[in-house]
Amino acid sequence: MSKFLEQRQAIFQKMAQINHMEHGSLKAEYRPGADADHPLGPYFKYQVWQAGKNHSERVAGPRAEQLRQAVEGRQQFEQLAQECIELTVQHTRQAHGQPETKKLQAAVRQETSSEIEAFVALAKARLTVEGTVSPQWLELGIREALLRDGRRALEDLLNDAHWRLAQDQAGPEEKRYAARPNQVDSLFGAVTLRRNYYTNGHGEGRAPLDEALGIVEGCTPALARLMCRAGAVEHYAAAAQSLNEYTGLTLTGRRIQRMVNCLGPQMAQWPRPQAEVLPTPLDQVFYVEGDGTGIPVRPEETAGRKGKQADQSAKTREVKLGCVFTQTKENQEGQPVRDAGSTSYVATLQPAAEFGALLRAEAFQRGLGSARLVVFLGDGAAWVWELARINFPMAICILDFFHAAEHLEDLAEALFGEGTLQAKTQWEQWAKLLKEQPDGLEQVLQAARQALPRSGRRRTLALKQIAYFKSNTDRMRYAEYQARGFFIGSGVIEAGCKTVIGRRLKQSGMFWGVPGAQNVLDIRCLLENRHFGLFWEQYRKPLSILHASN
C-alpha cells in the first residue's frame, strides 16, 4: 500500500471512531449571582441553523453533555475531512507532476475534486459507523458538492485573463477601475466577477464583461433562462420553491418577477426566425382562430372601463388570443386532424386593431403567403369578424358550431319556454339540421318564424336570436364545410385560452398589472411556440477569445 493510501486510511479510521455528531454550537452562559465572584451557572444554550432558520434552546444536565460531545465530534470530523481533502489534492498534483501555480486548466481540474472528495469521505465514514445511509442524503449531498465545485470552476474561468473584448478599453474622458468585483448568481450559486469598470464623470458607468456575458438582474443568462421559464409556468412564489427543489438555489418570488418583467419586453420584440419555406401540400388547410378571455387586474387597470358588474364597473381586462395551425389529414372516421406541432399563439391586452395586426404578422411568419386555402374560425363576436375582414379577406369564415348551437338553444327556449321538454327536443332537432343539412339554417329559421309569439318578451328574445343567425348565414354552411374536410369548431383557441392564459393568469388571488401580465403572456407564447430555447441561443453571441501570447 502506498504512503498516500496509508495516510488516507488512517484518517478514515479516525472518522469511523466518531460515533456521535451534531450540527450547531453549544455555548455556556452565566447569570449574576449574589456577588460578582460567584455567578450562577453555567447554563448551556444550543443554537443550530435548520430549514433556513436559526433555532436556539436552553439545555442542561445529561443532554448538555451529550450535545457538547456531539458538536465536538462533528468539528473533529470536519477537521479530518479537510485533512483528507488536502492530502488528496496534494497527491493529485504530485501525480500530475505540476506545480500549484502552473496552467489554469490543470488547477481547475485539481480543485473541482475537493468538495466531492470531502463528501465521499464523509459518506464512507458514515457507512463504516452506521452501516447504512439514506440514498436521498447521498444524492443531495453529491449535488451540493458539485454545485460548490462548479461555482469555483466557473468563477476561475470567467475571471481568466485570456478573455479579450474589443470594447474593454477606456474611451474619451473615461476612467478605468481594474478588477472591480461584481457578485453574480449562476446555476452553481454566487460567483464574483473581477472585471474592468469604466466611468465617464457624469454618473454613468459600464462593465464590458458584464454586457458581453449577458448578465441581467445580477444573474447569468443560464440562470435567467430558468427563472423566466419558471415564472411563466407557475406563480412567482411557487416558481421560487420549484427552482429551489430542482437546482438547490435559493431565489425569491419577487426576484423571479423582476426577471420576467425585465426580459419579457425583449422576448416580445425578438425577431423570430422565418418559417422554413416548404412546398405547400395541395390538400393542406391553413387555419387562423381568435378569441378573448378576461383576467383579473388591479383596480387602476379598469378605471373608466365599463364592465359586467351590477354598477357597470369592470374587474377584468380582456386578453385576446390568436392561433395559427395547419391541417392536412383526416382520421379513419373522416374527421380533420390538426398537423402535429403546427400550432403557434400570439396574445395581447391591446385593442382589437393591434391584435389583428399581430395575428396577421404571425400568420405570414407561418406561411400565409403561400397557403392555398385559408379558414378563419371565430365565436361570433363582432370584433372577431371585423378583424378577419381586415386582415384575412381571402379566408373562408366559419362560426364555431358550438357557439351556434348555444344560440339555437336560446332560440328554442325563447319560443317554447326555458327548461321545457319541448324546447330541449326542438333544440336537438334544429342542431342536427344545422350541422348536417345544406339548407338546415333555412329550415330552422322558417320553423322559428312560424312558432313566434305574437307579442311579449319571448317574441323579443326570439327575434334577437333570429337576427343573429341571419347576420351569420354565410358562416354557418356546416354541411358544406364538413364535406370539404374543414374543422367547424374553434376548440383549438378555446383550449388555448385555458392553457396559455388561464393556467397562469386566472388563478385564485391574482390581480395583474397590464405590463406584468403581458410579459408573462409573451414568455408563455414563446414556450408554446417552441421558440423559447432559440431566443436564449441568440440572447448573447458567444464571447470571442483571443489568446494572449505567453
Give pLDDT tens digits for 446-479.
Answer: 999 999 988 899 999 999 999 999 999 999 999 9
Indicate if 338 and 415 belong to the same structural domain: no
Give 498's DSSP letter. Answer: I
Indicate if 233 and 321 belong to the same structural domain: no
Is the per-residue pLDDT at 443 higher than 60? yes
Question: Does 354 map to a domain?
Answer: yes
The cell for 393 is: 379577406
Is the per-residue pLDDT at 265 higher than 60? yes
Is the per-residue pLDDT at 303 higher than 60? yes
Indicate if 295 and 391 belong to the same structural domain: yes
The cell for 491 is: 376548440
Indicate if 394 and 420 belong to the same structural domain: no
Question: Does 501 map to a domain?
Answer: yes
549 confidence band (pLDDT: 50, 70, 90): very low
Question: Does 474 map to a domain?
Answer: yes
d(CA 57, CA 210): 45
The cell for 97 is: 507532476
Of residues 73 and 401, more confidently modeled: 401
Is the per-residue pLDDT at 113 higher than 70? no
Question: Does 228 map to a domain?
Answer: yes
543 confidence band (pLDDT: 50, 70, 90): low
**Domain of 365: which CATH number?**
3.30.420
Indicate if 243 and 198 belong to the same structural domain: yes
Indicate if 474 and 519 belong to the same structural domain: no
Strand order in the sheet with 53-59: 25-31, 40-50, 53-59
Q: pLDDT by residue (tens digit) across 58-101?
A: 888 788 888 888 888 888 888 888 888 888 878 777 765 544 44
Question: Does 550 map to a domain?
Answer: no
Mean pLDDT, residues 327-343: 92
Q: Identify the pLDDT of residue 100.
A: 43
Q: Identify the pLDDT of residue 102.
A: 45
Indicate if 47 and 96 belong to the same structural domain: yes
Is the per-residue pLDDT at 37 higher than 70? no
Q: Identify the pLDDT of residue 97.
A: 57
Is the per-residue pLDDT at 294 higher than 50? yes
Nearest to 256 by CA among 486, 536, 78, 523: 523
Indicate if 520 and 471 belong to the same structural domain: no
Which ranges of 329-472 would DSSP assign to H, the alpha helix?
Answer: 352-365, 382-391, 401-416, 421-436, 440-450, 457-471
Q: pLDDT by residue (tens digit) across 205-253?
A: 999 999 999 999 999 999 999 999 999 999 999 999 999 999 999 999 9
d(CA 544, CA 167): 12
Q: Identify the pLDDT of residue 112.
A: 44
Calculate the alpha carbon distances from 442 to 376, 413, 470, 547 in Å: 23, 19, 9, 80
Domain boundary among 100, 131, 157: 157
> What b/e string do you get for 347-356 counting C-beta neighbours within 10 Å, with b at 16 or more?
bbbeebeebb
Indicate if 354 and 443 belong to the same structural domain: no
Give the chain's domain count: 4
Q: pLDDT by residue (tens digit) across 345-375?
A: 999 999 999 999 999 999 999 999 899 999 9
Indicate if 406 and 472 belong to the same structural domain: yes
Q: Identify the pLDDT of residue 542.
A: 56
Nearest to 462 by CA among 401, 406, 416: 416
Q: Identify the pLDDT of residue 548.
A: 38
545 confidence band (pLDDT: 50, 70, 90): very low
Of residues 133 and 514, more confidently modeled: 514
Indicate if 146 and 109 belong to the same structural domain: yes
Is the per-residue pLDDT at 550 higher than 70? no
Of 10-19, 154-163, 401-410, the range with the lowest mean pLDDT is: 10-19
Mean pLDDT, residues 156-176: 87
> What b/e string do you get for 368-397 counting C-beta neighbours within 10 Å, with b at 16 or more?
beebebbbbbbbbeebbbebbeebbeebbb
Q: Are 283 and 250 in contact (CB under 8 A)?
A: no
Q: Average pLDDT of the chain?
A: 88
Indicate if 131 and 68 belong to the same structural domain: yes
Q: Identify the pLDDT of residue 28.
A: 78
Question: Does 183 map to a domain?
Answer: yes
Question: Does 60 map to a domain?
Answer: yes
Q: Identify the pLDDT of residue 50.
A: 66
The cell for 420 is: 321545457
What whole-number percentage of the chain has pLDDT above 70? 91
**pTM to 2 decimal places:** 0.77
**Residue 62 is part of which domain span?**
3-157
Of residues 14 and 503, more confidently modeled: 503
Mean pLDDT, residues 418-433: 95
Question: Does 276 map to a domain?
Answer: no
Mean pLDDT, residues 498-517: 96
Task: Determine the residue type at 522.
Answer: D
Q: What angle do CA 331, 335, 341 make, to 5 degrees?
A: 65
Is the per-residue pLDDT at 36 higher than 90? no
Is the per-residue pLDDT at 1 higher than 60? no
Q: What is the DSSP string of 59-101?
A: E-HHHHHHHHHHHHHHHHHHHHHHHHHHHHHHHHHHHHT--TT
What whole-number percentage of the chain has pLDDT above 90? 60
Q: Identify the pLDDT of residue 429.
A: 96
